[in-house]
Structures are given as C-alpha cells and as structure tokens.
Amino acid sequence: VIGAGISGIAAGVNLQKVGIEEFTIFEKNPDVGGTWFLNSYPGAACDVDSRLYSYSFHTRKQWGRRYAEQPEILDYLNEVVDRFGLRPKIRTSSDVRSCVYDPSSKQWRIACEDGFEQNFDGVIACVGMLNDPLIPNIPGLDAFTGVATHTARWPKDLDVHGLRAAVVGTGSSAAQIVPAIAPHVHSLHLFQRQPGWVLPKPDKVHAGTVKRPAGPLQKAERCWQYLRRELAHGKYEMGSRRNVRQLRHAVDFLERAVDDPALQEVLKPSYPFGCKRAVRDSNFYPALLRDNVTTVPSALVGVDGSRVIAADGTTVEVDLLVLATGFRAQEFLNTVEVEGPDGRLLSHQWAEAGGPEAFLGVAVPGLPNFFMTYGPNSNTATTSMVFVLERQVEHIVRALAYADRNRLTGLMVRPDAHRRFNQWLQSSISDTVWTAGCNNYFSTQDGKIVTNWPHTSIAYAGLLKAAHPGLPWIYEEFRM
C-alpha cells in the first residue's frame, strides 16, 4: 500500500478484515495523515461536514466543530491507525519512487528513495491527487530574499507577525490562509489570476469532541447530510436550473459580503458556477475588506529580490510569499514510476491516451494486481470523498482476496472493458460546466477532464459493486 492517508488507512483496515495480514503501508512523510499531515498552514480545515468526512467504520459522536480543522482531522486519523493496530504495518519516511513488475516472479518490485526494495504480490497506490504541490514557474522565485513557501510546506516555526505578505491564488487554501494571517501581518497582497465562486460555510463550534461511536441520531444526521448532497448533483449540468440557482446563491453572497462595487467586479468570475471547484468559506470576503489587505486582479509573473511583480505591472515589496497554488491533481502517480510486464511505463500509456484513464478510477490494463484509489475521474463533485474512497478500497480488497482465494498470480482489467467505460465517461462529462474553459485542476492542457466523476456517488458505488472481479468480461485472470 503506497500512502498512509485516508485511503491508505482504509486499505489497511479492509485488508485485515478479509484476513490478509501480510502487507506494508509505505508513507513518504514522517507520520500518517497524507494531505492532512502536509497541510498544516494557518486556517487549514475541511470544507465538508465532519460527519461525512470520516469513516463509516469509525464514527465520532461529536466533532469539535461542524467543519473540522486540520489538527482534529489528523488526530482522528491517528486514532483510527491505533484503534485498528496499523502502526506496526506502516513504514514512514519511505518515499516509493518506482513499481516495476517482474514477469518471472509475477511480483511487483517496490523501490524507495532511501534504497529499500522488496517484492510484493499486489500494489494499492493510495497517493491520491493532493500529494504533489504545484509550484508555479515564476522567474526569480528561487532568488527571492524573503520567505517563500507553498501552503503544503508551511514551516512550523514561521512567525508572520509584522511581515509584508503576498499570497498567490484564490482557491480553498488561499481562502483559508488569508483570514488566518491577515490580522497579524503588516500588509497582505492577494494576487488573483482568475476569481473563483465562493459560498458561505455555516461552521459551528461544538461543546467539545466526543470520541465515542455515533449513536442512532448522529447516524441519521450523517445519512441525511449525504443524501442532501447527492440530490444537489444536477448543479454541475450546463444550463440546469440547479446550476443557475447555485450561481445566484454565490452572487448574492458576494454582494452581501462585499459592499464595494469595484471590488465586487474584481471578485466576480465570468465563467459558470462549478467550472472550477467553488470555495466554501465565510471568512474570505470579510478578510479582503481589511485596511491592510489589497486584492491584485492579476497573475504574479516575476520576482526580483524582495519585490513581486504582477502581469499588470503592480510591484510590491514583501517579506513573505505564500504559494496557495494547489497540487498537480491531474498528473496521477507522477511521483511514482510504474512499469508493467512489457516494460511499458504507465506515464507513457496515459500520454498516448491524451491524459490519465482508469477503469472506475481503480484499475488500468496491462498492470496485473495493480490498483489505485482516488484515481482518474473518481473525484466526486457533491459529497465527501471518504465515502468514495471506502467503496474503492472495498472493491480493490475484494479483488485481491478473490485472486488469493482462487490461487491467481494476477488479476487485470480487460482493455475492452476499460475502453468502453472511458468512452461512456467522457461522453457524460461533455454536458458539464467543467468543460466551460476556466483555469481548473480538473483538466489536462488539451481540455480533457481527468479528475471528476460526472454522476452521483451512489451510481459510482453501484458500478464498483457490480464490477465483481470474477466477471470474465471485466477482469482477466492469470494462473500459476
């Protein structure tokens, strides 16, 4: 198992559940948590209700707040690791750099950056989309005389008090960090290449965290929150009533929160709601109205010593440069070189296809016993990804258990099943607002949507359940 984030932990729990005890979870960071270990910047929090952003097999009666902050989520993940005895199975500070299939042994050779190598019968790549920070190619950035940091690499000892700060980006991480540091810095300039739609986040602080399992009432609330989000799925259909309603909601929120007409125009996107992931935060707009905060409606294009330069010519002297620029989400498994039995690299296979593709986001032709979570086109647009990740892990573990039970040396998705699925998938995506042409992380440079799932998560879960590993028109079996 590569990665000890949400899906890697779930994989470990499910492997134990079916009696597979011989497995190792490789984690490149010093501790578990995945993206919630990496993202410890001020204000880091979830924008999905905590009742949904948690495992079905390990619930909490009450979270500290409706939308949990990073420390509480990380505490929860560590709690799950210890509750299910996974820590002895986890090899931290082990950055997997390659997975090479050996046809003679019918095994995968895993090689880590620290020199560790070992053979395994199967691989579950749980690296996800949010593991490789996107560092923009800004001339002069390397020679910046102040402190430059990506939000996912925030220095733990960084004191921002009195600093002149610049923040690049207007996505979720920017919307969280700006309100968190604005009251403490001397000044803050927000560089905006393209505005994003923002919705309020009705957060609520609870009396305290109750780590006991959720009772019937909490489970009913969780189910209702999930179904409510599923019913809102149509808001991503181009021109749909729900999409128009969401657009009005976002415009109303902007006009209520920002009373400056000129700033309203700067912050109002020209593309349909949902073309890029909407920000959900109630504190972002008020922070932009502070006297020490300036919104620069232009991309950052250069750095000269302590000066940052925008495309419109704006030049500002700063001490702190924060890159809230997200991740290389559409470049799946780009940190791990995967080589199949024929010596072909997965990266080359995907390049020939015009971008990453997978069967239901979990399997690729030509790679026996190699599975992934949060793979291509499995990012749900409406509900919690934890639900989807659990369903993926259940499917993958069922496949591996089937192979073990039937003494198979390999199980691999058939090329025709993979092709038919992706043709249908891309046809479904063509009617969504994601194709409207804004700058988003959903698509490749050529415009192919490679991250998002265009239907409900219930439909996705149903397809995973129906794709039984024993069906010969889906999976090809290899025997001793």
What is the average per-residue pLDDT within 119-148?
96
Determine which helix (DSSP H) or strand (DSSP E) holds 209, and give its type and residue range. Answer: none
What is the average per-residue pLDDT within 198-219?
87
Helices 457-466 and 385-405, packing angle to 10 deg: 0
Helices 70-83 and 6-17, packing angle to 10 deg: 20
Q: Any idea of the CA torsion for 38, 41, 47, 53, to the nearest 10 degrees?
A: 40
Lowest mean pLDDT among 88-97, 231-240, 321-330: 231-240
Region label for 93, one of left (φ > 0), alpha (ψ between -120 and 50) or beta (otherwise) = left
The residue assigned the tokens 């969401």 is 246
Looking at residue 455, the DSSP 8-state letter turns out to be: S
The answer to whether residues 286 and 130 touch, using CB atoms and an 8 Å cutoff, is: no
Closest among 427, 380, 83, 338 to 230, alpha carbons compared: 380
- The neighbour count for residue 446, using CB atoms within 10 Å, is 7
What is the average per-residue pLDDT within 243-260?
97
Q: Where are the beta strands (DSSP E) in 392-448?
A: 408-413
Tokens of 212: 């006991």
What is the average per-residue pLDDT within 149-176?
97
Residue 420: CA atoms inside 13 Å, Cβ hemisphere, count?
A: 6
Q: How far apart are CA 64 and CA 52, in angstroms?
A: 14
What is the average per-residue pLDDT within 83-98?
98
Question: Chain centroid to CA 258: how far?
Answer: 30
Pick the CATH number of 141-323 from 3.40.50.261, 3.40.50.1010, 3.50.50.60, 3.40.50.720: 3.50.50.60
The per-residue pLDDT for 62 is 87
Tokens of 288: 């932009």
Average pLDDT value over all residues in the chain: 96
The answer to whether residues 165 and 306 touch, using CB atoms and an 8 Å cutoff, is: no
Tokens of 380: 């749900």
What is the average per-residue pLDDT within 332-351?
96
The per-residue pLDDT for 207 is 80
What b/e string do you get for 165-185 counting C-beta neighbours within 10 Å, with b at 16 or more? bbbbbbbbbbbbbbbbbbeeb
Lowest mean pLDDT among 186-190, 240-244, 249-253: 240-244
| Residue ranges, CATH 3.50.50.60, the chain | 6-132+328-479, 141-323
The pTM is what? 0.96
Confidence class for position 214, pLDDT limits 50, 70, 90: confident
The per-residue pLDDT for 479 is 84
Tokens of 110: 């895993």
Confidence class for position 355, pLDDT limits 50, 70, 90: very high
The per-residue pLDDT for 1 is 98
Q: What are phi and psi of 189, to 5 degrees?
A: -110, 125
Lowest mean pLDDT among 1-5, 209-213, 302-306: 209-213
What is the average per-residue pLDDT within 260-272?
97
Which CATH topology does 6-132+328-479 take? Answer: FAD/NAD(P)-binding domain (3.50.50)
What is the average per-residue pLDDT within 414-437?
96
Q: Is the per-residue pLDDT at 361 higher than 80?
A: yes
Q: Is the per-residue pLDDT at 480 higher than 80?
A: no
Helix %, strand %, coil % of the chain (to 5): 30, 20, 50
Q: Is the per-residue pLDDT at 61 higher than 90?
A: no
Lowest mean pLDDT among 62-76, 203-217, 330-344, 362-376: 203-217
Tokens of 442: 């959903």
What own/partner pairs with CB < 8 Å and gap ≥ 24 does 150-159 have?
A: 150/322, 150/323, 150/324, 150/325, 151/39, 151/41, 151/44, 151/177, 151/322, 151/323, 151/324, 152/35, 152/38, 152/39, 152/41, 152/327, 153/38, 154/39, 154/40, 154/41, 154/42, 156/40, 158/320
Residue 25 one-letter amino acid? I
Closest among 349, 317, 284 to 43, alpha carbons compared: 284
